[in-house]
Structure 1
């Protein structure tokens, strides 16, 4: 079969197309020269397993990093757990893909916080290079997310080792460290703070206090180390070292119920609900996070009227163009003609897409992935998917450019001082860019209109 199809590997699957193992030409050569011939033996006796795999939407460099980590040359590509293809080391070998892989290895090999902080500046240099090469900003953000994830894992490993060495303590039950907000959506850029939470398994009766204390200490140590690496704690306290964001699954379920039942009475509950709908596992138990998110989405969708306060939140801000399609300039005490592309653009797109995804029970967190899933379900048109994805990409790209421009203007900035890129100056945009910006803001308004009609029964005026 390999000879007929000119391939060097075959994926062995079950009756549903899920990968069970892999047989390579190297496996066959070893089998042919072994003491016991394999020519008439079932392939499952000598195939390699477990089989490492990548999802169809994984980035090429992520696949290359996984190959390097696991020491393999072939990876099945899966969509909804079914094998749809194979990617090989030779497919992926290129200089462009090497830099992120090298950075991941440097993070994993680093032994001290000083070494990790040095890696962060090389990450900044890599982002500059990727931007110059015109790589899609969403891919840049996902690359950053993968490296940030590994920094979190490293901080947790160091914290676990410290607790074991100093206090003879180890994790008493399974736990999960989750990213929230832009980190959860894999959309953070160079300027980001810590938005995180920790979930741990329900402790055995009588050990609640001991278990809670362990994870409190773990989170405090990990969050402190991340702050030293240039990721400040969330100024609003949305960080896993806050006891309110560090609970058992049972306690989190009670918290969700309180939030969802009081969405109208407490506006902050809308923000909390939105943040946790972006929850994404960074380290620990995948099962805990799946159950965590399933319970939250089920609570919201149990009564569709609960979507109304979430929808009203999408309409609080408006895109900065008036009814004559002119830009509305920010009144911030300066003479610079600036517009807010984050709060009045990106955030509205992200939040509008999020409520549409919650309504359909979509479990992915990335905005572009949510748009694709919504279009596939028929919840939005294919045209709107493309328009919204383009607008989001354009605005996110402008924001990254503003961050990089700030770094170029002041090379003495520390990691903590990287500008947010929230505002863009109209005078620094080309005529075409100003036209694209207006079109992007029109799409923002279109999404607001859709949310208003669908969940509030009236247009957004």
Structure 2
């Protein structure tokens, strides 16, 4: 090995994933590496460039990765010494989705993929590193490690999203592939592929897949004269065929193609070659699936011009959620993705109303409240909202309010068409009561919080869980400041809220049996929303207000943060956080099964294991109740 290659191998062994290779393997890689000198601001590749046949490692200097979105260049990551980037050719055939540009004079090692691929296929640690890199968002990657060699994704995702989505994103593929037998003549198959306009055919024996032939085989083996068109198809087929289960995810499919260096995967009932063929997945299917990540869906929402467009996107989100549950993806990550898409749909609905009505006559803010405000809406549950507009002169007040009522009515009507039902309690901005000026809202919160026993018959706790959807941040901040001021030394308010939590109906009888509904519609069903989730939601909100956890509305995150600010009771809060996720998953599964809100669960239909899991998730509620009584000096009858 020459001295330069030896120096490169010595360099690479200090960084992942190369530190999982032997020095002999590194030497072979180093001997094939091309050294590139980049001047300051020189571009290595840019958006839409054809993929290179190599990926890159920064030897010295800094390389910026950026993407242009909505006419603005956004810096995604900075690659320093030892960092890998440009991995896209491993996982996709379409062009680059980002630009790499030297921030300063830099030396880059270009590693040919053909040289490196065998080490990926044969070393699970290297494969796992690339898998993690492929699945990592750039923002997540930048904070992941303190050492060199951090994970740099070549997939562009919507900002702030965890790309666990790739692990449960389903694939659309050909469910009626062409099949044939081993002794069919090549010429006949070539004619059939031409007539059907397909680039592959599966070879089966007793309905089980034994091989595959693609256009590439026809070109490289028949067109070159190696085999005659009169030969049988088994002479040119690739065997064995790589098989996968029906619900394979985008990430799994891409990695299998990478590992086995193939362009097609055969879908069978049980994922082995010993079961019946259900379809064929091609590289083209993966490229199409990549276009269905949250970022693309958000862009589609921004371009939507009618409720029917938004409804179609929301239905796709439901499919995504359903598949994620099926694949046991962590529910918190699913909720992150779902909430961003839900909130984008609401925002677009407001924008469409403004496009129809004309510019607002005053500054305003649209706030989602309730489960949308807490970013916990996975199912088609009802919409909750409030609208705050700035104070205006008395002679203009009526016209201004009329405009915003019209805006709210249009927006809530659009959302109802998309699939979000109207709130039964009418907690919506289209209600005159919940669409008003900042001064009126300040009076409302003052009344709720300072005289809770007298003037709070109209108070709903959900007005303390809000998320800005559209409009002026200063108006939202003004509401937040009023809430903050009124929580200081306000034992009356916390007495009221605390007792409200304690009034929640118990989920279990003294003998640990589920308390079920008695009305004819939901007889013998367990109300998981009212008896299980609401006590946790209300308890988390109570403590969040007490400890002034500003800007944290999500129940799971509230409990996680409470474990930090009140370490003495850390275990209770963490148990409640886990319980909330478990209960939410039960409700989501039930809702997806019945295409409803999932509120009522038929206990008699549940397995013993599920019943035990559900009971275990209810256990922390008692601890939370005792903590509330102790912290706020309450009894259930105060």
1:189 aligns with 2:385: no
Structure 2 match to 1:214: 403
1:102 aligns with 2:296: yes
Q: Secondary structure at the match of 1:104?
A: helix
The answer to which structure has the higher strand fraction is 2
Structure 1 match to 2:610: 433
Select 2:487's aligned residue among 296, 300, 311.
300
Structure 2 match to 1:175: 364
The answer on whether the counterparts of 1:320 and 1:344 sit within 8 Å (CA) in structure 2 is yes
Distance in 2 (CA, whole Å) between partners of 1:278 and 1:449 is 24
The 3 A distance-change label for structure 1 pair 361 and 86 is: farther
Structure ranking higher on relative contact order (CA contacts 8 Å, 6+ apart) = 1
Select 1:8's aligned residue among 63, 70, 73.
63
Q: Secondary structure at the match of 1:197?
A: strand
The answer on whether the counterparts of 2:412 and 2:422 sit within 8 Å (CA) in structure 1 is yes
The 3 A distance-change label for structure 1 pair 141 and 29 is: closer
1:275 aligns with 2:462: yes
1:317 aligns with 2:504: yes
Distance in 1 (CA, whole Å) between partners of 2:346 and 2:151 is 28
Aligned-pair distance for 1:236?
Answer: 1.3
Aligned-pair distance for 1:373?
Answer: 1.4
Structure 2 match to 1:344: 531
Select 1:383's aligned residue among 554, 571, 581.
571
The answer to which structure has the higher helix fraction is 1
The 3 A distance-change label for structure 1 pair 20 and 173 is: farther
Residues 109-160 of structure 1 deviation map (CA, whole Å, 9 limit, x = unaligned): 3222222222222222112111111122233233222112111111111111
Structure 1 match to 2:205: none
The answer on whether the counterparts of 1:329 and 1:339 sit within 8 Å (CA) in structure 2 is yes
Structure 2 match to 1:394: 582
Select 1:372's aligned residue among 560, 579, 582.
560
How is 1:192-271 mapped onto 2 (pairs within 5 angstroms)?
192-204=381-393, 206-269=395-458, 271=459
Q: Secondary structure at the match of 1:140?
A: helix
Structure 1 match to 2:154: 90
The 3 A distance-change label for structure 1 pair 133 and 460 is: farther
Q: Secondary structure at the match of 1:188?
A: coil
The answer on whether the counterparts of 1:311 and 1:355 sit within 8 Å (CA) in structure 2 is yes
The answer on whether the counterparts of 1:449 and 1:460 sit within 8 Å (CA) in structure 2 is no
The 3 A distance-change label for structure 1 pair 110 and 386 is: same
The 3 A distance-change label for structure 1 pair 352 and 117 is: same
Query: CA RMSD, aligned part only?
Result: 3.6
Unaligned runs of 5+ in 1: 12-18, 34-59, 65-72, 79-84, 165-169, 407-417
Select 2:353's aligned residue among 142, 155, 159.
159
Distance in 2 (CA, whole Å) between partners of 1:23 and 1:100 is 23
Structure 2 match to 1:69: none
Distance in 1 (CA, whole Å) between partners of 2:436 and 2:309 is 32
Q: Which moved more, 1:24-33 or 1:424-433?
A: 24-33
1:127 aligns with 2:318: no
Scaled by the length of structure 1, the TM-score of the pair is 0.76
Distance in 2 (CA, whole Å) between partners of 1:335 and 1:184 is 28
The answer on whether the counterparts of 2:372 and 2:384 sit within 8 Å (CA) in structure 1 is yes
Aligned-pair distance for 1:90?
Answer: 2.4
Residues 208-239 of structure 1 deviation map (CA, whole Å, 9 limit, x = unaligned): 33322222221122112111212222121211
Scaled by the length of structure 2, the TM-score of the pair is 0.56
Aligned-pair distance for 1:306?
Answer: 1.8
The answer on whether the counterparts of 1:452 and 1:460 sit within 8 Å (CA) in structure 2 is no
The 3 A distance-change label for structure 1 pair 361 and 335 is: closer
The answer on whether the counterparts of 2:374 and 2:465 sit within 8 Å (CA) in structure 1 is yes
Q: Secondary structure at the match of 1:207?
A: helix
Select 2:473's aligned residue among 286, 293, 299.
286
Q: Secondary structure at the match of 1:218?
A: helix
The count of corresponding residues between Structure 1 and Structure 2 is 396
Structure 2 match to 1:118: 312
Residues 266-304 of structure 1 deviation map (CA, whole Å, 9 limit, x = unaligned): 4534x43x2111011111222221221221232133422
The answer on whether the counterparts of 1:199 and 1:249 sit within 8 Å (CA) in structure 2 is yes
Distance in 1 (CA, whole Å) between partners of 2:376 and 2:529 is 12
Q: Secondary structure at the match of 1:268?
A: coil
Residues 6-59 of structure 1 deviation map (CA, whole Å, 9 limit, x = unaligned): 863499xxxxxxx999877978648879xxxxxxxxxxxxxxxxxxxxxxxxxx
Q: Secondary structure at the match of 2:387?
A: strand
Q: Which moved more, 1:392-401 or 1:217-226?
A: 217-226
How is 1:33-52 mapped onto 2 (pairs within 5 angstroms)?
none
Q: Which moved more, 1:90-99 or 1:122-131?
A: 90-99
Aligned-pair distance for 1:359?
Answer: 0.5
Distance in 2 (CA, whole Å) between partners of 1:344 and 1:264 is 24
The answer on whether the counterparts of 2:63 and 2:100 sit within 8 Å (CA) in structure 1 is no
The 3 A distance-change label for structure 1 pair 249 and 131 is: same
Distance in 2 (CA, whole Å) between partners of 1:198 and 1:449 is 37
Distance in 1 (CA, whole Å) between partners of 2:560 and 2:616 is 20
The 3 A distance-change label for structure 1 pair 283 and 346 is: same
